[in-house]
A = this chain, B = another copy of it.
Amino acid sequence: MENQNNIGEASTNQIIKQVINYWTDRNKAVTNFINKYPDDAYYKEVAPNRSRAIYLFGHLIAVNDALLPMFALGEKLFPEYDAIFLSVPDKSVADLPSLPELKKSWEKLNETLADHFNKMTANEWLDRHMSVSVEDFKHEPLRNKLNVLINRTNHQSYHLGQMILLNA
C-alpha cells in the first residue's frame, strides 16, 4: 500500500466529511438543474403521466427539511410543504408555491442544514436519529444520523435522475 493511513479519530472525521461533501455536491446538481431552463419548463411532467419537475423539486425540499427534526436540530422550516409535496402525489393540490418561491426555500434550507452539519461532531453523526428509540438504537447502532444522510443523498440522486429526463 502506498499510503498507510492512521485509522482512528481523524479517519472517522474524514469519512464523515466525505459523506457530507457528496450530499453538498448533489444539492448543487439539483440547484444547477433547476436554474438551467426558463421557469415555465419545470411545470412539465418529466415523463407522460408522471410528476412534474416542480413537484419533484418541492418534494426534495420537504424530505430534506425533515432532517431538521430528525436530527434534533429544530423544527421544519417549511412544514406547510408536507401537505403539498409529501403526503400526496403530484396534481393533488391545485396551487403549488411558485418556482421562485421554491428556489428561495431550497437555498434557505441548504444554508441552514450546511450550518448545522458543519458543526456536528462525529459522536453526533453516529448517535441515533429521532425516529429510532433509545432502546432500539442499542440493538441497531447503524440507525444513526449519518445513515440517514447517506439515504437522503441517494434519494436526491434518484429524483434528479428523473428530473433530468424533462423535455424542456
Interface residues of A (CB under 8 A from B): 1-5, 7-9, 11-19, 21-22, 26, 46-50, 122-124, 126-128, 134, 137, 141-142, 144, 146-147, 150-151, 153-155, 157-162, 165, 167
Contact = CB atoms under 8 A, between A and B. Distances in A.
Given A11-B122, A15-B15, A161-B161, 6 more contacts: A7-B13, A12-B15, A17-B142, A155-B157, A158-B161, A159-B161
Contacts of A144: 18
Contact of A165 (B16, B47, B123): B47
Nearest to A134: B2
A23 to B, nearest CB: 10
What does DSSP make chain A's interface, helix, strand, loop or mixed?
Answer: helix
Copies in the complex: 2
A8 B8 contact: yes
A155 B134 CA distance: 33
Given A12-B8, A14-B142, A15-B146, A127 B165 contact: no
A14 B157 contact: no
A78 to B, nearest CB: 23
B2 A127 contact: yes
A3 B157 CA distance: 31
9 contacts: A3-B126, A3-B141, A5-B122, A7-B12, A21-B142, A22-B151, A46-B47, A162-B162, A165-B165
